[in-house]
């Protein structure tokens, strides 16, 4: 890699408060994407083709940004050298497969256990993996000693999510049928922090999140394309392609989320970044339900108080501790 290009590769540094605000803001795009993809899924009558369309539109948009920006073009020109010199493992570029796995897990599991339990299980998996990837310095990230406040914040975040969706959990009821399906959202959440770390490492060397975001959409599109092809051979898509343009914008919203994650994780770690996203996710969900309500949506005391507890959890986890170790870079 040329020294001149190396010196250009400087991703903006973030203080923890600024980074958390950015993470919360980016997290708000997730429920918006879910609402858009949900509407497309309803129109098509199948969630998997809707997810594929979301990935394809995201891939097209990011491809244009990649081609039209100087930083994107320079990074792609240097990619063969990075792979040859093993700057980072080539399979980090397949991190998008984890996103495809999440969609698959959601499609299979939600009809069985419900959205509420899927969300709780997924967040639990995310939190555990966030602690693990930070403490081990996975993917060449900074090793971060896990503090009591971070563990406390993680526990409070999980409790906050459970409380926010408590009415749905109660109404859905318990069943032994959950035992096997619940492993899907847990594992999808667990892999999420690893996806963040791999994207963060790529961004560190590219100097921009654009290529990492591109490869996320590319690998996810291929994986979902294979799944959808097989499923449509068995049973054609029952619905129709809607004429509403906004139903095809899910990929654009997802691109913001992925790009922000790739940048922020380098400076805050996967745990704090993930908790910030979670808080934004809950805040965004409340905003959508208040401003653009749909059938079945509601904002309750549980939703508001659970979201507030999650925000408290993020603040607690981000507080400095005398036990926090000096970051060690690999």
Give the tens place of pLDDT for each residue, 287-300: 888 888 877 667 88
Say which residue the tokens 């994207």 belong to: 199
Please give the span between the terminal C-alpha atoms of the chain, in angstroms, as a whole number.
Answer: 19
Give the residue numbers spanning the domain of 304.
19-318
Task: Note the pTM of the prediction, 2 decimals.
Answer: 0.84
Say which residue the tokens 């997290």 belong to: 27
The answer as to whether 328 is a domain residue is: no
The answer as to whether 271 is a domain residue is: yes
Average pLDDT over residues 81-94: 91
The more confidently predicted of residues 236 and 140 is 236
User: What integer pLDDT is reported at residue 176 of this predicted model?
Assistant: 59
Cα-based angle 273, 258, 18 (whole degrees, multiple of 5): 40
> 25: how many CB neighbours lie within 10 A of its CB?
16
Percent of the chain with pLDDT over 70: 88
User: What integer pLDDT is reported at residue 295 of this predicted model?
Assistant: 73
The tally of domains found in the chain comes to 1
Say which residue the tokens 């401003």 belong to: 291
pLDDT grade, residue 174 (50/70/90)? low
The answer as to whether 253 is a domain residue is: yes
Residues forming beta bridges with residue 143, ordered by sequence position: 328
pLDDT grade, residue 223 (50/70/90)? very high
The answer as to whether 13 is a domain residue is: no
Tell whether the model's pLDDT for residue 68 goes beyond 60: yes
User: What integer pLDDT is reported at residue 325 of this predicted model?
Assistant: 44
Tell whether the model's pLDDT for residue 61 goes beyond 80: yes
The answer as to whether 178 is a domain residue is: yes
The more confidently predicted of residues 323 and 177 is 177
Of 245, 184, 250, 174, residue with least CA distance to 217: 250
Tell whether the model's pLDDT for residue 260 goes beyond 80: yes
User: Under a CB-based contact definition with an 8 Å cutoff, are residues 266 and 23 in contact?
Assistant: no
66 to 44, 204, 265, 317: CA distances (angstroms): 30, 17, 21, 35
The answer as to whether 273 is a domain residue is: yes
209 to 55, 59, 79, 202, 267: CA distances (angstroms): 17, 14, 14, 8, 14
Average pLDDT over residues 20-48: 88
The answer as to whether 323 is a domain residue is: no
Work out the mean pLDDT of the chain and round it to a whole number: 84
The answer as to whether 277 is a domain residue is: yes
User: Under a CB-based contact definition with an 8 Å cutoff, are residues 62 and 212 in contact?
Assistant: no
| Residue partners of 167: CB distance under 8 A and separation at least 6 | 300, 302
């Amino acid at each position: 890699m040329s020294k001149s290009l190396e010196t250009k590769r400087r991703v903006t540094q973030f203080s923890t408060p600024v980074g958390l605000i950015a993470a919360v803001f980016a997290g708000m795009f997730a429920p918006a994407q879910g609402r858009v993809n949900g509407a497309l899924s309803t129109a098509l009558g199948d969630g998997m083709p809707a997810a594929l369309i979301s990935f394809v539109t995201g891939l097209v948009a990011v491809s244009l940004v990649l081609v039209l920006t100087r930083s994107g073009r320079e990074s792609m020109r240097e990619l063969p050298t990075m792979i040859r010199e093993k700057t980072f493992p080539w399979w980090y570029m397949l991190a998008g497969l984890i996103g495809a796995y999440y969609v698959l897990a959601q499609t299979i599991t939600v009809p069985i256990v419900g959205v509420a339990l899927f969300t709780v299980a997924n967040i639990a998996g995310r939190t555990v993996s966030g602690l693990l990837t930070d403490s081990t310095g996975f993917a060449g990230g900074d090793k971060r000693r896990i503090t009591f406040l971070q563990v406390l914040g993680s526990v409070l975040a999980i409790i906050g999510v459970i409380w926010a969706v408590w009415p749905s959990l109660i109404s859905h009821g318990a069943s032994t049928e959950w035992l096997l399906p619940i492993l899907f959202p847990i594992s999808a959440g667990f892999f999420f922090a690893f996806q963040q770390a791999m994207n963060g490492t790529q961004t560190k060397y590219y100097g921009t999140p654009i290529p990492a975001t591109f490869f996320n959409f590319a690998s996810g599109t291929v994986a979902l394309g294979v799944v959808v092809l097989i499923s449509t051979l068995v049973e054609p898509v029952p619905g129709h392609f809607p004429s509403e343009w906004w139903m095809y914008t899910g990929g654009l919203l997802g691109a913001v989320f992925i790009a922000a994650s790739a940048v922020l994780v380098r400076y805050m770690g996967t745990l704090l970044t993930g908790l910030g996203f979670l808080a934004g996710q809950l805040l965004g969900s409340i905003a959508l339900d208040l401003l653009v309500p749909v059938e079945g949506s509601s904002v309750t005391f549980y939703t508001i108080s659970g979201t507030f507890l999650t925000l408290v959890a993020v603040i607690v986890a981000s507080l400095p501790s005398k036990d926090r170790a000096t970051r060690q870079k690999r």
